[in-house]
Chain A
């Protein structure tokens, strides 16, 4: 019987080829529009995600002392001591299969002194191994490459076998240092001065030999990046503000987070807390940008998807009205109302799947064209100039297909309900002459 329904549905569509073609076109246009938009959002999400995890050195999971989340640069009592760092890393070994590498970060508010002038800065001190692995991580490089004109590099070695510090171009500009190469200008000497964690004034020498961009985290335009050992020397501590865990691709993040928190509670009760990178506390620029993007995406989804679905429904309703007597005939032959409704749902299904198939191919083509045209723009706080890039894959195509097809099928069902609820005699009398 299913074959017959499909046959009826398929041939029903062919009854008015022009109308069917236009309806299919509407669906295709809607699908292509949404898929392109989704492809862009997907790419941007990929970029932002990898920025948050690797570029900003948050890792997938951040471990801090409970209470430290209320501070950007937490005071001494919220620092994780070296002993605790070692103990936590040792406990995390049970998750070795899931962990790619682990880093430590020390965050300090300080001042940079250059040419006898002082400028307030936020210092991020990173453990060097983790910093290098994160900044050269293939995921980060791949996601940024072709999307931004800026490609990040790790902290740069100095001649004296240490790494230099890095400042932002904005800070560089304010300090009056203008260079041709925005990312790796000639090195210059400066000093960092600030209070250590016991509120004593301290200072260290640094060599600044790199610039870095902080994406849309505007507050961090006054940031200095350096190795954690130098930050520890400045602040006279051996601990860290946070431990950052970088996971392998296939790990279920929420599950790992729960496991980590369970472990921390078991081994270090009421002391530490693990959080995902995708929270406001860890990465507000990621959550902020993604929230904005998702709102826009949902908005366009509703507008475009809604318009397309409603126009198809309109055509379907016309088709149902034209075939009232056919509906009556089928009912008079013993077909149930649900079976008759199925025919029209199959029509929508055939139209939809055809539209999806063609639309996917067209989307691939358009995405390729857009990517090759290399449109650029400079979003606020972005890592240099950005290219508009669309990333389309089967999974994305499938999700958009479901989003468009499912409401269409459901609404098609309800569109037929009204006609099939009518009395048979009224349906048949559409064509019947008198009594």
Chain B
């Protein structure tokens, strides 16, 4: 089956204002991501990786250009539309895990599901169990994040990102705060999930050693795509 275009960026630009100085973070980015792809964005610090991830994730808005997700322009969504987009289409995996410290592992993974009105408690339970199973942490469901290692926390974050069956999972430097062994484990987990469930991943990092298994790599430098 031919892969369809999930995400399309057309001439996307973003500029930041630092005092009176305009700093271009992204210039005329054109990009297409298909369903099921595992794409890595590589670039040094300051290349615009996080900016690009933020724009795709609707955490920020571009100054110019268009971002189409399943044909829908997500460049300037209303608050309600953005919430719906983030909840139903996107899963985030953050560099600092961003787990809620007062909730258990189970409760953290369940968080995105609580916004879905038509999901029963049993359905949520089953979904969370599935997610935790996939990341190998079902037995830790009652643990608090501060009782887990860095790698375990990131797995919980991945499980959370999976829970609402998103179309696209965005992972912004998910291994930056982990040791190299754990980092490789996490990347392998993401790759496994991609192969197993045909999930679309967009993952960025500054560490080229992590991308050996990755099929598509986009090099970003000074806000522009060097090669894809």
User: A–B direct touch, CB within 8 Å, in complex?
Assistant: yes
Please tell me if the beta carbons of B100 and A433 are within 8 angstroms of each other in the complex: no
The answer on a CB contact under 8 Å between A329 and B100 is yes
**Would A334 and B112 count as touching, CB distance under 8 A?**
yes
Indicate which residue in B45, B49, B57 contacts A332 across the interface (CB closer than 8 Å).
B57
Residues of B within 8 A of A248 (CB): none
Contacts of B187 in A (CB 8 A): none
| CB-defined contacts of A431 to chain B, threshold 8 Å | 96, 98
* A4-B107, A330-B111 as given contacts; A432 in contact with B102, CB under 8 Å: no
A8, B51: Cα distance in complex, Å: 30
B43-68 to A contact mask, C-beta < 8 Å, 1/0: 00111111100100111100000000
Given A1-B114, A334-B86, A435:B96 Cβ within 8 A: no
Determine whether the beta carbon of B79 is less than 8 Å from that of A333.
Answer: no
18 more A-B contacts (CB under 8 A) besides A7-B107, A334-B88? A4-B114, A15-B102, A326-B100, A329-B94, A332-B86, A333-B87, A333-B92, A334-B115, A336-B80, A423-B59, A425-B54, A425-B60, A428-B94, A432-B95, A432-B172, A433-B176, A434-B50, A435-B49
Q: Specify which chain A residues have a CB less than 8 angstroms from the CB of B51 in the assembled complex.
A: 435
The docked-state distance in angstroms from the alpha carbon of A435 to that of B94 is 12
Query: B107 CB to closest chain A CB, in angstroms?
Result: 7
What residues of chain A lie closer than 8 Å to B114, measured between beta carbons? Answer: 1, 4
Indicate whether A14 reaches chain B with its CB closer than 8 angstroms. Answer: yes
Confirm or deny: A335 has a beta carbon within 8 angstroms of a beta carbon on chain B. yes
- CB distance B87 to A334 under 8 Å? yes
Closest residue of chain A to B55 (Cβ to Cβ) is A425
Q: Which residues of B contact A433 (CB under 8 A)?
A: 95-96, 173, 176
CB contacts (< 8 Å) of B48 on chain A: these are: 435
Is B126 interfacial (CB-CB < 8 Å)? no
Q: For residues 386 through 435 of chain A, which have their beta carbon under 8 Å from a beta carbon of chain B? A: 423-425, 428, 431-435
Q: How far is the CA of A431 from the CA of B107 in the complex (A)?
A: 22
A325 interfacial contact with B, CB 8 Å: yes
Shortest Cβ gap from A398 to chain B (Å): 31
Q: Is A33 an interface residue (CB 8 A)?
A: no
- Interface flag for A220 (CB, 8 Å): no
Interface status of B147 (Cβ within 8 A of chain A): no
A259 to B63, CA, bound (A): 70
- A337 part of interface (Cβ distance < 8 Å): yes
- Of residues 83 through 124 on chain B, the ones whose CB sits less than 8 Å from some CB of chain A are 83-88, 92, 94-96, 98, 100-103, 107, 110-112, 114-115
Residues from chain B with Cβ under 8 Å of A435 in the complex: 25, 45-51
CA distance A265 to B22 in the complex (A): 81
Contact with A along B162-179 (1 / 0, CB 8 A): 001000000011001000
Contact of A8 among B57, B59, B79, B103 (CB under 8 A): B103
How many Å lie between the Cα of A434 and that of B50 in the bound state? 8
Q: Given A8-B103, A15-B102, A337-B79, are A332 and B59 also a contact pair (CB < 8 Å)?
A: yes
**Cα distance, A363 to B208, chains bound together (Å):** 67
Beta-carbon contact of A14 and B102 below 8 Å: yes
Q: Are A432 and B94 in contact (CB under 8 A)?
A: yes
Chain B: which residue is nearest A3 at the CB level?
A: B114
A17 to chain B, nearest CB (A): 12
A326 to B94 Cα, complex, angstroms: 12
Q: In whole angstroms, how far apart are the Cα atoms of A67 and B57 in the complex? A: 78
| Chain A 309-339 interface residues, beta-carbon cutoff 8 Å to B | 325-326, 328-337, 339
**Cα of A191 to Cα of B152 in the assembled complex, Å:** 102
Provide the residues of chain B in CB contact with A233, threshold 8 Å. none
A75 on the B face (CB < 8 A): no
Would you give 28 A-B contacts (Cβ < 8 Å), ordered by A? A1-B114, A14-B102, A325-B96, A328-B98, A332-B57, A332-B92, A332-B98, A333-B112, A334-B84, A334-B86, A334-B88, A335-B87, A336-B83, A337-B79, A423-B59, A425-B59, A428-B94, A428-B98, A432-B94, A433-B96, A434-B46, A434-B50, A435-B25, A435-B45, A435-B47, A435-B48, A435-B49, A435-B50
Please report the C-alpha to C-alpha distance between residue A329 and residue B96 in the assembled complex, in whole angstroms: 11
Contact of A335 (CB < 8 Å), options: B54, B58, B102, B115:
B115
Which residues of chain B come closer than 8 Å to A326, judged between CB atoms? Answer: 98, 100
Q: Chain A residues with Cβ under 8 A from B47's Cβ?
A: 435
In the complex, what residue of chain A is closest to B50 when comparing beta carbons? A435
Collect the chain A residues with CB atoms within 8 Å of residue B110's CB: 4
In the complex, chain A residues whose CB is within 8 Å of the CB of B172? 432
Contact A434-B45, Cβ < 8 Å, known A4-B114, A333-B115: yes
Q: A329-B100, A336-B79, A435-B49 are in contact. Are A428 and B111 (CB under 8 A)?
A: no
Closest Cβ–Cβ distance, residue B121 to chain A (whole Å): 10
Q: Given known contacts A1-B114, A435-B51, is B60 in contact with A423 (CB within 8 Å)?
A: yes
Q: Residue of B at shortest CB range from A326?
A: B100
Q: Which residues of B contact A335 (CB under 8 A)?
A: 83, 87, 115
Q: A434 contacts which chain B residues (CB < 8 A)?
A: 45-46, 50
Q: Which of A1, A8, A424, A432 contacts B96 (CB 8 A)?
A: A432
Residues on A with beta carbons closer than 8 Å to the beta carbon of B83: 331, 334-336
In the bound complex, CA of A337 to CA of B81 (Å): 12
